[in-house]
Chain A
Amino acid sequence: MSEDILKNSQSLKICHLYPEVLNLYGDRGNIKCLSQRLAWRGIDCTVDQCHLGEKKDLSQYDIFFIGGGQDFEQEVLLADLKSGKGDEIKSAIADGKVFLCICGGYQMMGHYYETHDGVKCEFLGAVDFYTKGGDTRMIGNYAFECGVESGGSTIVGFENHSGKTYLGKDVSPLGTVLAGFGNNGEDHTEGIRYKNVFGTYSHGPVLPKNPAFADTLIKTALERKYGSFLLEPLSDKFEKAAHEKILQQVLSHTTSGD
């Protein structure tokens, strides 16, 4: 019985940043995945949303999630980031909090986005990288292998971006592309890993069918909060089936037809 009491004393707080704006591609699947996988292990989890213009004490959260959005809507939130929330995000990063940043939300962590006619849009600059607009769309299912520091698992997902991202010297990629484009379609890197910021182009619901990656995020957050932590394994039958199906397809360069 004492073990149960101990379990319940552990909890994580998740903050979904700008869910009303950055929600283009099934992003909420990631939040569902994190909270379910915690619940299945008896670990308490609360999810708060932080909207545009909303003032919240961001230091109380363990995991932050920021998704992808329409260009049209992305402009709306840059102003909000500059009004102080951006600084709070930067200190949370310095504090080792876990961030999962996807697509538009990933690009926004970098210094800037430069359109192909040379117009620079200043971003948060929390991590040393930048993105340049390209003229071809990098689109399709793809796969990459995470570095050991990010759990070493293979991730499958769907990328859809024309921006090409280039990393600064002290920033590692999240992984190495096995098939597909990744950050820029040139250097085989995909995403970023900087402190506990995980950025990726794998848009929308990347976590449900990459359970090992989901658990890496959870474990990182728990260890930061509670020291070393042994995460109870889950059966993951459906998760693995969905993962394997698309991994095989991507590695053999086939599609499901017309």
Chain B
Amino acid sequence: MHKKHSKIRIFLSVAACRFTRFALRVLHRGGTTLPGRSAMFFDKTILEVVSRDMEIIVVTGTNGKTTTCSMLRHALASAKINVLSNLSGANLLTGITAEFTANASLLGHPKKHYAIVECDEGALRKVVPYLNPKCIIVTNLFRDQLDRYGEVMHTHDVIAKGIKLVPKTKLVLNADDSLTASLGENVPNPVEYYGINVPYGKQEMGEISDAKYCIHCGTEYKYNYHTYAHLGDFYCPKCGYKRQTPSIAVTAIDKIGAHGSVVTSSINGKETSLHVGLPALYNVYNALAAVTAFDAAGFNKKYILRSLSQETSSFGRMETFNYKNTDMQMILVKNPAGCNQSISYMTSLGEDYTGVFCLNDKTADGHDISWIWDADHEFVAEDPHCKHIFVWGTRSEDMQLRLKYAGVPEEMITRVETPQELIDACADAGRPTFILPNYTSMIELRAVLGEATGKKEFWKEQA
């Protein structure tokens, strides 16, 4: 063991982490920053100790981290493998440190052998040198929380820096995303690509693309087909940079429905039907990422192929609540790409509904909320099935303004002050309700909805 990790420091670190975590839970709080900081106070690099010799899959990327982690966790659980994992709100160095430290013995030995770790894009390079993961998944790269990350190219570069620190780790990359796929070029790491080999949806790119120009030479990409946002079979007509052939791919889309999808996949050349128990195309991508990593990490694929069909929503992502006999489905949206996917899902179902948009600008959300103008709320305005819209959150005034300019009449929008008022108003309206909150508004709202409908608080959910 490295000199800096003295036994007494390790002991104090684990004890401090466990104590603060216990204390927070007694106080009915689920925080992870304080336990992580306490652990790091006594041993700054405790994470290296408490994850030693574990087999770890790290998931990063703009959208789909939590869902992909949940798919992997459930697959391992179905094979009776006890797995360590962190929660979505704790995906920075402190949160990840807290999770591993709290689950180690007082001597700092890990109690579990496997871990699935969700990691913030910006934190990747701080985390992976300690975890030395077997595999890193990068789901996709979209513009997201600009005030925290700067631009999408910057996010790309910090992920590349993280990958550089672990040259032996296997990379699992989205072949259809030109930004993500380029992370697999010119690196010593073994790379596995996954992707969708067939077109889906409107074969045109939206007005806003996060990657319109070749990452290498600046020429506009051409596409043989699109799947969604800037994803698809891209190629650069000038320098020749193009989509890699994925080893695990969807070869036919049989059905994308409200309760799940059925697709035909080719897994290392073998054709298999794949059932995903979650709606929308982006969850097909998440499923592909999970299958590819599961395979790359050396697990038997049959477990994940089976568990994917049973997959239900994870925390705040397509989670459905029934409050006063009204179905309320919550879909976390944090950026234009995710928001557009959720809007296209909501407007594709063909039944009357109440739409809810929640917008906070707390630190965890980003203080800059201008991204709402890059999402296509116009499709909600044009949808005759959208009967009323409620808005809530610290920036609900901006949200209703966005909707007004999208073409929603002012009288169709009601701004409410509290989450309780919101769910009561939705229940009174009596229609199925789709709630699209951003991060902290989802956390607040879920607590209220969970309480009202008897669902557990998030930090209890894993136990």
Residues of chain B with a CB closer than 8 A to A246's CB: 398
Stretch at the interface among A128-136, A164-172, A190-198, A236-244: A236-244
Residue of chain B at shortest CB distance from A72: B153
Decide: B398 and A139 in contact? CB cutoff 8 A: no
Decide: A26 and B373 in contact? CB cutoff 8 A: yes
Q: Is A158 an interface residue (CB 8 A)?
A: yes
Residues of chain B with a CB closer than 8 A to A256's CB: 360-362, 367, 394-395
Q: Is A89 an interface residue (CB 8 A)?
A: no
Q: Provide the bound-state CA to CA distance between A205 and B377, in Å.
A: 15
Q: Provide the bound-state CA to CA distance between A208 and B406, in Å.
A: 11
Q: Provide the bound-state CA to CA distance between A45 and B168, in Å.
A: 58
Q: Is A255 an interface residue (CB 8 A)?
A: yes
Decide: B401 and A255 in contact? CB cutoff 8 A: no
Decide: A205 and B373 in contact? CB cutoff 8 A: yes
Decide: B368 and A25 in contact? CB cutoff 8 A: yes
Decide: B212 and A20 in contact? CB cutoff 8 A: yes
Residues of chain A with a CB closer than 8 A to B360's CB: 256
- Size of the chain A interface, CB-CB below 8 angstroms: 41
Q: Is A209 an interface residue (CB 8 A)?
A: yes
One of A28, A72, A140 near B374 (C-beta < 8 A): A28
Stretch at the interface among A5-13, A29-37, A181-189, A217-225: A29-37
Q: Is A149 an interface residue (CB 8 A)?
A: no
Decide: A160 and B368 in contact? CB cutoff 8 A: yes
Given A23-B208, A75-B218, also A28-B373 (CB < 8 A): yes
Residues of chain A with a CB closer than 8 A to B212's CB: 20-21
Q: How large is the interface on B (under 10, 10 to 19, 20 to 34, 35 or more residues)?
A: 35 or more
A113-154: which have CB < 8 Å to B?
139-141
Residues of chain B with a CB closer than 8 A to A255's CB: 361-363, 367
Residue of chain B at shortest CB distance from A245: B397
Q: Provide the bound-state CA to CA distance between A70 and B155, in Å.
A: 12
One of B146, B213, B364 near A25 (C-beta < 8 A): B146
Q: Is A258 an interface residue (CB 8 A)?
A: yes
Given A160-B368, A209-B398, also A29-B405 (CB < 8 A): yes
Decide: B400 and A258 in contact? CB cutoff 8 A: no
In the complex, per-residue mask of B86-121: 1 if CB is within 8 Å of any chain A CB, else 0: 000000000000000000000000000000000000
Pull 30 A–B residue pairs with CB atoms less than 8 Å apart, ordered by A: A20-B212, A21-B212, A21-B213, A23-B208, A23-B374, A26-B370, A70-B151, A70-B153, A71-B151, A72-B153, A72-B213, A72-B218, A76-B213, A139-B147, A140-B147, A158-B147, A203-B370, A204-B370, A237-B410, A238-B400, A238-B401, A239-B401, A242-B398, A242-B401, A244-B397, A256-B360, A256-B361, A256-B362, A257-B362, A258-B362
Which residues does A use to contact B, with CB under 8 Å?
Answer: 19-21, 23-29, 32-33, 36, 70-73, 75-76, 139-141, 158, 160, 203-205, 208-209, 237-239, 241-242, 244-246, 255-258
Having A205-B373, A256-B360, one finds 10 other A-B pairs with CB under 8 Å, namely A20-B209, A23-B207, A26-B372, A73-B213, A160-B147, A205-B370, A208-B373, A238-B404, A245-B398, A255-B367
